[in-house]
Structures are given as structure tokens and as C-alpha cells.
Amino acid sequence: MSVTVSVETFIDNVKKILAEDDPQRPSYETLERLSYEMRDFAANPDVSSNGEEPSGNIHTGSQSRPLYEDESGLILVRARFGPEAMTPIHSHGSWGVIGVYQGHDRYQVWRRLDEGTGDGEARVELIDERVMGPGDVAILPPPPQDIHAQQGENGETALEFVLFGANTMVLPRLYFDPEQEIAREVTPGQR
């Protein structure tokens, strides 16, 4: 049975969990605990169906305003992933926790095989692909392995909450081309 969780309660719980670890590079166990919080939060019909749908997605620069952000960089946003095309393979430069609240998301996890952490030569491989539905969560590990791609599945738009440990709306991110074996750094809002 899911408990109704408000944005304020969710963020308070997140901060308590992060206070027990390094908030910039939390352990996998801490990220797991955050994923349980996200699962309850995303299941809250009062939060997920408040009539506000994200106006764009994290990659188009037309993101809805954050539901929460603070001076530490912690940020909670709504994200939209349409069925038209898979996002580029990318990173955000931060750990994160994703919780789907509507639709289905084809979610791919990629791993960087080379020793690099920035743009330039980069080899990546697909290590997992799954379809997430309402109530499902995914963990983005801290960089440089926060690499993924997403797309709405079955002709549906996927709507989700994403909690990041740093404000990814301003951080440069990497876009990967596995065929050319390169990564290109892009600042959000630029292409």
C-alpha cells in the first residue's frame, strides 16, 4: 500500500537520507533508499495528476519549472518523453532517480567503456533496456556512468518525476555517438 507523499514531505525525506551519505556521490544503498521514496512519491495521485504536464523534455530546453530546487543543487522536475524518437544517448553530470507516473518509458542504460569522463573519444555500450510503467523507478548513478536514453513506448508519452543531486538544467551534459565513438559536451538550451 502506497502512502500519499507531498513534494515537501518527499524532499524532507530525501534530505534526511542524503544527510547520512555524501550528497554529491551517494552510495548505491543510498540511491536505493531514494528510489523507494520516489516510488511512493510518483504513486501519489494528488502530485502526479495536478493538471500540470511538462511542456517539453529535458533535452529540448523547454522544461517545465522545477517542482523544487535549492542552493545545494538538489532539484526535482517533471519530464516528458514522447514516442516520436529515442532521446540521444546522454549523461546529465549528476546522479538521479526517475519515477514514472504516467505512460510507459523505454529506458536504456549505457556504460562508458573507455577511461574518459568528458567529450572527445568515447566508447559506450548498451547494458540494459526495459520498459517502465507507472510506479517504476530507475537510478542514475553518479557520473561518469549516468548514461542513458529514453522514449515514450507504445505510442504513449511517458511522464515522470526526476530527482537530481545537482541542477542539471544548467550543467553541461554529454551526448554520445556509439558508431563514431565520440562524446560531445552540450550546455542545456544549446545544440
Calculate the average pLDDT of the chain.
89
Domain 7-186 has CATH 2.60.120.10: yes
Percent of the chain with pLDDT over 90: 79
Q: What is the pLDDT of residues 43-66, one digit of tens each?
A: 887 776 555 555 444 444 445 689
Cβ atoms 112, 143 nearer than 8 A? no
> Global pTM?
0.88
| Secondary structure class of 65 (helix, strand, coil) | coil
Using the CB atoms, write b or e for 45-54: b if 16+ within 10 Å: eebbeeeeeb
Number of H helices, E strands in the chain: 3, 12
> Is 2 a residue whose pLDDT tops 50?
no
- The Cα–Cα gap between 174 and 32 comes to 25
Domain ranges of the chain: 7-186
Residue 110's DSSP bridge partners are 126, 147
pLDDT of residue 5: 76
- The Cα–Cα gap between 30 and 86 comes to 29
Within 8 A by CB and 6+ apart from 111, the residues are 124, 125, 127, 145, 147
Residue 90's pLDDT band (cuts 50, 70, 90): very high
Q: What is the pLDDT of residues 128-172, one digit of tens each?
A: 999 999 999 999 999 999 999 999 999 999 999 999 999 998 999
The DSSP element (H or E) to which 100 belongs, if any, is strand 96-102
